[in-house]
Amino acid sequence: MTKAKQPSEKALRRAIVETALEMSQSGLSPGRSGNVSARWKDGMLITPSGRRYEDTAPEDIAFVAGDGSVAGGKFKPSTEWHFHLAAYRARPDRHAVIHTHSMHATVLACAHQPIPAFHYMVAAAGGSDIPCVPYATFGTEALAQHVAAGLKARDACLMANHGQIAIGVSLSHALELAFEVEALSEQYYKVLTLGKAQLLSESEMDDVLNRFKSYGRNAE
C-alpha cells in the first residue's frame, strides 16, 4: 500500500478552517469555543485565539513548533495549544486534534462522568470507555499533562468541567469521532435518566475492538 501524500501547507490551512467552520456551524461547539489543529512538520498548525471561525482565513492559522515556540503571525494560536501539542507527543500515530464544548459531552464532563461500555460504539474511541480527565485551568501545562494521559490509549476523552477532545489520523476522522462522542454522550445521559446503565462485558468490548480494526476499511 502506498503512503498517502501529505497535503501542502496551504491545503492543510484551508482544511483546518473548513473543519472549524463545520464544527461551529453544526452546533458541535458554540460561538468561538473549541479549536482545531493538524500536525505539520515538527509542530502543528492551529486555529487562532478568540477569532470567529467565519472571519478566519487560511493565512490566519498559527504555527506552533514542537518546542512550543510560536513564529510571528497575524494572530496568536489558540490558548489551548499546550494540550494539542501534548496530544501529538503522546500519540505520534495521530495527526489531527479537535476540541469542542459540545452540549452533552460537556454535561458529562461537568459531572466528572466518563462514558463506560453502555453501547458498543464506545469502542470507536479506541477502548472500552471514554475517560474523563481531571480538571485544570484552560491553557495550562497541567491540563496538557492530563490530556496526554487520557489520550495515551484512547482517541477521545472528556475534560472535567470543560468539554471533549477527539484525535484522528486526519481532520475528517477526528471531526467524525467528535460527532460520535457527542452522540454517545447524549445517549448515555438519557440512559442515566432511566437508572443504572447495563454495561457490556470486557470480553465483548475486546471482540468489538477487534472487529473495528477492519470496519470501514473498504470505504477508505
Residues belonging to the active site: 80
Neighbour order of strands in the sheet with 62-64:
62-64, 43-46, 35-40, 96-100, 163-168, 156-159, 132-133
At what angle are helices 81-90 and 141-151 packed, to 10 degrees?
Answer: 30
d(CA 179, CA 125): 11
Show the cell assigned to 38. 493538524
Burial state string for 119-156 with b = 16 or more CB within 10 A and e = fewer than 16: bbebbbbbbbbbbbbebbebeeeebbbbbbbbbeebbb
Which residue type sits at 54? E
The owner of cell 501534548 is: 86
Provide the angle, in degrees to the nearest 10, between the axes of the packed helices 171-194 and 9-25: 20
